[in-house]
Amino acid sequence: MRRYLHDGSFTGFLTALALALERGGADCAIAPQRAAGGASEPELFAEYISAGSDPGRAAAMRELFERRGSAGSWRHARYAFLSENPGSGTALLAYARLLLEKGPAADDMLADGRVRRVHALSAAVGGEAHMFKGFVRFTELADGALYSRIEPEHNILPLITGHFRARLGGFNWVIHDARRTSAALYFKGRLVIAPLEKARLEEDAGEALVRELWKHFFRTAAIKERENPQLQRRNVPLKYRKNLTEFG
């Protein structure tokens, strides 16, 4: 069995995908390096190949998804990658092979396991990204900038920056994915995503009051006669509440 390892970047992943398609073998897999060299023991009979990062090969892969696939294929590939699901690399390899074989019609094969797997990963990521357009909570800092800490399941940060740029274009803001120690930094109209371990924060003096107002509003808005904690839990899973002001 061949395992193509990538460095965790999207370019690295696409390079690994290209190599797997070129050199193939029926039972090859794609996985991030970190997972292979980390806690788990390397498999005895597996052959490990480090894919490196080759922008040319990556561009060719993008072309494959865009040319051979339907209008949604490239998005499905990007989103499935961002899911960071351990099986997503190998799932995308099977999906890419199917696109090569069937062309755009592959995305119509909704009952096919290879298509369903990638579509499901993509939908999970798209769904979480949409949720976080609502779940991001900013704190105003002393210098007027807005800071938010999030811990999403999937790597959705790159998918929500455009939304907040359109919305808070006149402010400086930071959305900090504490789980991945990376942050989207929007400063004077420029946006970068960069590593960020810990942020030193000094809250604005008026912040505590606004936060209290919001918490009071949130509590008051519930109708006692209709209380339904199960429904609330389904809509706001417990794992997200830690960073939501109104549940703090």
Partner 1 sequence: MDLQRKLEILADSAKYDASCASSGSDRGGRGAGAAHISGVCHSWTADGRCVSLLKVLMTNECVYDCAYCVNRRSNDVPRASLTPDEIASLAFEFYKRNYIEGLFLSSGIAGSPDRTMELLLEAVRKLRREFRFNGYVHLKVIPGADRTLIDQAGLWADRVSVNIELPTDKSLRLLAPGKTKETVLGPMDRLAGRIAAYRDERRSIKSAPAYAPAGQSTQLIIGATPETDLEIMKLSEALYGKMRLKRVYYSAFVPVSRDSRLPALAEPPLLREHRLYQADWLLRFYGFTADELLDEKHPELDLAFDPKTVWALNNLERFPLEVNTADYEALLRVPGIGVTSARRILRARRAGTLKLDDLKKLGVVMKRAVYFVTAAGKYAGIKKESGEAIKVKLLEHKNPNGQLDLFGRLELAKEGLAATVTGQL
Query: 35: part of which helix (H) or strand (E)?
Result: helix 33-37
Judged by beta carbon, residue 1 or residue 231, the one nearer partner 1 is 231
Shortest Cβ distance from residue 151 to partner 1 (Å)? 16
Shortest Cβ distance from residue 238 to partner 1 (Å)? 12
Tokens standing for residue 231: 């429904």
Shortest Cβ distance from residue 70 to partner 1 (Å)? 10
Judged by beta carbon, residue 38 or residue 206, the one nearer partner 1 is 206
Query: 133: part of which helix (H) or strand (E)?
Result: helix 113-135
The order of strands in the sheet holding 182-187 is 139-140, 146-150, 173-177, 182-187, 190-195
- Over the range 214-232, which residues count as b (16 or more CB within 10 Å of their CB) and which as e? eeeeeeeeeeeeeeeeeee
| Residues at the interface with partner 1 (CB under 8 A) | 105, 108-112, 116, 130, 133-140, 146, 148, 163-164, 166-171, 210, 212-214, 216-232, 234-236, 244-246
Judged by beta carbon, residue 59 or residue 142, the one nearer partner 1 is 142
Shortest Cβ distance from residue 241 to partner 1 (Å)? 10
Tokens standing for residue 191: 């946006």
In terms of Cα–Cα distance, which of 144, 146, 215 is closest to 176? 146
Shortest Cβ distance from residue 123 to partner 1 (Å)? 11
Judged by beta carbon, residue 195 or residue 229, the one nearer partner 1 is 229
Judged by beta carbon, residue 16 or residue 157, the one nearer partner 1 is 157
